[in-house]
Amino acid sequence: MELEREEILSAIYHCVKCKLCSISSFHPNEEWLPLCPSGQFYGYQAFYAPGRLEIFREILEGELSEPTEGLLKAVYACTLCGACYEKCKQITSVGISLPELFEKQREELVKKGWALDAHKNIAEKIKETRNAYGEKHKYKYEAKSVYGAEVLYYIGCTARYRVPEIADAMLEIFDKLGIKYQVMEDEWCCGSVLLRTGRVEDAKALMAHNVEEIKNSGAKTVVFTCPGCLMTFKKNYPDMAVELVHSTQFLTRLGDMKVKKLGMEVAYHDPCHLGRDLGIYEEPRALLKEVADVKELKREREQAWCCGSGGGVKSAYDDFALWSAGERIKEAKEVGAEAIVSACPFCKRNLREAGEKEEMKVFDVVELVNRSLEG
């Protein structure tokens, strides 16, 4: 633990406060584009990565002893999007990523009892219902599940309860392509929201349950439409000796699915967990290009602008989350897209809410693939 503290402090002291992490690469874009949604929205140094690191140092070195509202906001109003780290690692070579440090910072705060009510409420809901939204009803697709099938679709709380059209599309694709699948009879939240908000202990029972269920399922491949769930399984779960893949990886490697073009001009939005965390940039683009004309946004791939909903921000600071998504919608309009397409239920939910007034259509890649599949 002491070593960990020293490692963390060493990483913090590597920050030279240059703030390169706050802007996208100037030369390819030829304009000054912000990269950190939190700093850009709130406007204070404390809301950019270096400010957040300084607060962490002060907490670890005992210089901060009061959980003021401003302090909690500076710590928790960060989407953990990782855009800052993409820039920072180019100059500091620090091995612990900035989002990892910010998660550790939240763990410290939770240990001190300095958590946000919004996040405590989610933890309570999960304890009671095993899903992050506190929903009590059972999922309708369990009836179609084939026990023992090699492919298991881990649906995740957001596609189950807030954007079910993504789960519908994924399952219809399996059906149309004749792929036998199973869903977990008793799927529990993956624990991502707990882990990202510093509630590590609360996530342990969820992870143990899901590991046991998956081991007993006989599945060889687990497919995820949610990059947050996938990243959590890859980063935080023990090895289950099963393959863990995102929907876009799974579908790309099937080869020719006999899809047809939909005649749409769309912009692709890289989800943070899928792109920066898992390095999956090509597969969603390859699939989309088969069904639509794809336009690149100015801030794309490693430098994608975050939709604003991750890291527990949507539940605690919805005004910030919607502003961030609104900025992305503007960017999609600028390139002349009629729809913005992502590959994440969290992104879809937030972009859709922000895009309602702008009349921007929002889809997940699997929805467009499903529409374009013949039969």
Query: Is 43 strand, coil or helix?
Result: coil
* CB 13, min distance to ligand SF4, A: 10
The H or E element containing residue 102 is: helix 98-111
Report the candidate in 84, 106, 5 with the shortest Cα–Cα distance to residue 40: 84
Query: Cα 319 vs. chain centroid, distance in angstroms?
Result: 18
Pairing of strands 243-246, 265-268: unpaired
Of the pair 101, 366, the CB lying nearest ligand SF4 is at 101
Report the distance separating Cα 40 and Cα 36, nearest Å.
Answer: 6
Asked whether the beta carbons of 348 and 341 are under 8 A apart, the reply is no
Nearer to ligand SF4, 78 or 219 (CB): 78
50 vs 345 by CB, closer to ligand SF4? 50
Q: Minimum Å distance from CB 92 to ligand SF4?
A: 5
The Cα 237–Cα 233 span in angstroms is 5
Give the DSSP H/E element, type plus range, for residue 187. none
Q: How far apart are CA 268 and CA 283, in angstroms?
A: 12
Structure tokens at 239: 């090895």
How large is the angle between the packed helices 83-92 and 49-60, nearest 10 degrees?
A: 80
The least CB distance from residue 165 to ligand SF4, in Å, is 28
C-beta of 99 vs 198, nearer to ligand SF4:
99
CB of 87 to ligand SF4, least distance (A): 5
CB of 52 to ligand SF4, least distance (A): 6
| Interface with ligand SF4 (CB under 6 A) | 15-21, 36-39, 49-50, 52, 78-84, 87-88, 92, 98-99, 306
DSSP E strands in the chain: the ranges are 151-154, 181-182, 221-224, 243-246, 265-268, 293-295, 339-342, 361-364
Would you say 99 or 345 has its CB closer to ligand SF4? 99
SS3 content of the chain, % helix, strand, coil (to 5): 55, 10, 35
Nearer of residues 45 and 129 to ligand SF4, judged by Cβ: 45
Amino acid identity at 113: G
Q: How far is the CB of 343 from ligand SF4 (least distance, A)?
A: 19
Return the structure tokens found at 265: 């001009």
Closest separation between CB of residue 358 and ligand SF4, Å? Answer: 22
Smallest distance, Å, CB 275 to ligand SF4? 13
Residue nearer to ligand SF4 on the CB measure, 11 or 291: 11
Task: Compare residues 256 and 319 and give the one whose CB is closer to ligand SF4.
Answer: 319
Question: Cβ 78 to ligand SF4, closest distance in Å?
Answer: 3
Tell whether the torsion through CA atoms of 258, 175, 154 and 238 is positive or negative. Answer: negative
Residues in the chain: 375
Closer residue to ligand SF4 (CB): 57 or 204: 57
